[in-house]
Amino acid sequence: MPQGFFITFEGLDGSGKTTQLKRLAAWLQARGHSVVCTRQPGGTALGDRVRSLLLDSRLDAETGGVAPMAELALMFADRAQSIEQVILPALAAGKIVLCDRYTDSTEAYQSGGRGIPFATVQTMHQLICKGLQPDLTLLLLPSLQSSLARARRRNDKALHQKGADENRFEREGDAFYTRVYQAYRAIAAREPQRVAAIEDDASIEDVQQSVRSIVAERLGNK
């Protein structure tokens, strides 16, 4: 049985979760905790390859379109490797794992965004991740309006870039991101014990203060 503490960060592209994760890691380390930071897709040699494949904006043109189920299966292939090589060993060693995205992203993007039935994602999670759930999920959810504005800015930037890049998802339009946003809200409403949603457009500092107090409380109650 895992002894450590498993925390995931979730949110739309550009929600600031990566910045928040890094700051939280530094804060926890300064308090003597042993922390492992990782991300999905990625974080293992196999996962980094899956990541560069899935996030490459040329992929759709090169392949004639990626089947949503193929995308789903690749996300779970990445996750299986991450669980085996990074997450479970770190938890077994009593560490705090901070993971940038996990199965909630699959529910939000592949189910909410792409329309794959939620039951399919859930079944794959049970099979492939053996149901491993985070102890705590920090969901950064600024208003839909500012999330869309941010996604659009990234999208515009992506359109001006050439060659291999990590913008494939950021090229999606507002309708896609609205569905992803709604799926995230549904997850937070369904699992309030696990998912702490930070739903305002506060500054990086203010969001970090909220993140720290939620984490401190949960670690204290462990």
**Min dist. Cβ of residue 109 to ligand TYD (A):** 3
Nearest residue (CB) to ligand TYD, 4 versus 41: 41
If the CB atoms of residues 18 and 133 are measured against ligand TYD, the closer one turns out to be: 18
Helix (H) / strand (E) element for 22: namely: helix 17-30
Residues 6 or more apart whose CB falls under 8 angstroms from that of 222 comprise 5, 135
Query: Is 27 in contact with 212 (CB distance < 8 Å)?
Result: yes
Least Å distance, CB 32 to ligand TYD, is 28
Residue number, 100 or 142, with CB nearest to ligand TYD: 100
Cis peptide before 41 (omega within 30 of 0): yes
- Nearest alpha carbon to residue 170 among 185, 188, 189, 156: 156
Angle between helices 17-30 and 204-220 (to 10 degrees): 50
- Tell me the closest approach of the beta carbon of residue 206 to ligand TYD, in angstroms: 20
C-beta neighbour count of 219 within 10 angstroms: 16
Nearer residue to ligand TYD within complex by CB, 95 or 101: 101
Which positions lie near ligand TYD, rule CB under 6 A?
A: 13-14, 18, 40-41, 55, 75, 100-101, 105-106, 109-110, 169
Rounded CA separation 25/50 (Å): 25
**1 vs 172, beta carbon nearer ligand TYD:** 172
What is the smallest separation between the CB atom of 202 and ligand TYD, expressed in angstroms?
A: 18
Residue 17 CB, nearest approach to ligand TYD (Å)? 6
